[in-house]
Amino acid sequence: MKDELLKYYPMIHQDKMIYEYEKGTIRIGTDDNDVIEITDKENKLLPLLNMLDGNNNVEKILSSFPWINLKSLSLLIVKLSKAHSLSLLNEPLSVLTSNDEFKSDCTYYYSEGLNGQDIIKKIKNLKVTIFGVGGGGSLLALQLTNLGVRHIHLVDNDKIDKSNLHRQFLFKNDDIGKFKVDVVQQFLKSRNSNVKITVSKKKIISVNSAIDEIETNESNWAFCCMDEPPYVAQRIINRASYIKQIPSLYGFSSRDSCKMLMVNPNKSGCIDCLLNATNDTEFEKLVYALRKNNFKPTTPIIIPNLMLETSWMVKKWLDQITNKRQQWNVLYRFDYNSLKEKSFVSFERQSDCPTCGTESNNKLWQIIPIK
């Protein structure tokens, strides 16, 4: 164990400044709620701490400072590590970050107590399909690309019109009349030529058509940003994702708030479970009225709220990817005015769910059928 430790490269996280705060006191960090103070009456620690930059292994540090032994250095490393201020690297930082593309991202992950390089690698290997690339879907695609996702499949049969431009800022006046997927693909490729983006202009009208799109790039995540037909679109993506046994994410917008749900076939209920659990006569009447009148509402959203929504959704998704604690079987709500999140609806997997349970004769499925 001793010999193994000597090979590691301790790194105080690069967002932490190391400085003498006052005589005999060293501080690591400048954030008022994230500062470590170390007593250094003999004025020895500052040069040692500066050497914990991720490019010097423990063996070299010990040889450079004979006054400290392995046990004392190990205790210091453990203390800083528990405070999420230090990580142990297997290789020198200069080797790991020879490409500075995700340097800030790595610093963030390490400061969160995670292995930044492993997270970046995991994200790069993900393959996602985004159904619907309007205001929400296009911003999701942009953020996923910037986080490092390298395989994205975009699905949307819609073209850009003038009414899109004020809230869908990936599009320009010159893009009016073009397919949204083509413009988003071009925009993202111009930002990062390493990302592989495929597109489809097919209209999703059935579970099989959604499955075909998921299989196009062998996706292991599906994002549903389709809003029409209401409830039917989400049910289709939900069923397709369940059949392919991949997790999926759903976003819903309104004037003063947004909602989101993540579904994992191995850990949670699904969209149909949520609908089944919250269904009652009044809800059936509402859904029936929407279907009967074929009402197509104008989305009541402004660009600041849309950016809040998509950033919130991607952050919740990223927390799941990085294995932070995540509560399943919850429809979350984010309020644009209070800027607060809450668990809006909790539910359980339903035994009579038509997707992940047994067949159901619930009247609701007759009102919003899928094929």
Rounded to an integer, the average pLDDT of 356-367 is 86
Tell me if 78 is assigned to some domain: yes
Residue 314: give its domain's CATH number: 3.40.50.720
CA angle 182, 210, 221 (to 5 degrees): 80
- Of 5 and 152, the structure prediction assigns the larger pLDDT to 152
Written as six digits, the tokens of 86 are: 């230090």
- Region 295-320: mean pLDDT is 90
In this structure, the answer to whether residues 228 and 80 fall within a common structural domain is no
Structural domains in the chain (count): 2
Neighbour-count burial for 15-44, b at 16+ CB within 10 Å, e otherwise: ebebeeeeeeebbbbeeeeeebebebeeee
Judge whether residue 48 has pLDDT over 70. Answer: yes
Mean pLDDT on 40-67: 95
- On whether both 86 and 141 belong to a single domain, the answer is no
Q: What pLDDT is stored for residue 1 in this prediction?
A: 53
Residue 115 forms part of a structural domain: no
Task: Look up the domain containing 198 and give its range.
Answer: 125-367
- Identify whether residues 150 and 201 lie together within a single domain: yes
C-alpha pair distances (Å), 350 with each of 155, 234, 236, 306, 359 = 30, 17, 18, 32, 11
Angle at 278 between CA 211 and CA 299, to 5 degrees: 65
Residue 34 located in a structural domain = yes
- Whether 318 is covered by a domain: the verdict is yes
- 8-state DSSP, 351: T
Residue 301: band (very low, low, confident or very high) from pLDDT cuts 50, 70, 90: confident
Residue at token pair 């790991």: 96
pLDDT at 121 over 60: yes
Determine the average pLDDT of the residues in 193-205.
96
What is the pTM (predicted TM-score) of this model? 0.88
Per-residue pLDDT at 192 exceeds 60 = yes
pLDDT single digits (tens) 245-265: 999 999 998 889 999 999 999
pLDDT score at 2: 63
pLDDT reading at 98 higher than 80? no
Specify which of 1-15, 29-43, 85-99, 335-349 reaches the highest per-range mean pLDDT: 335-349
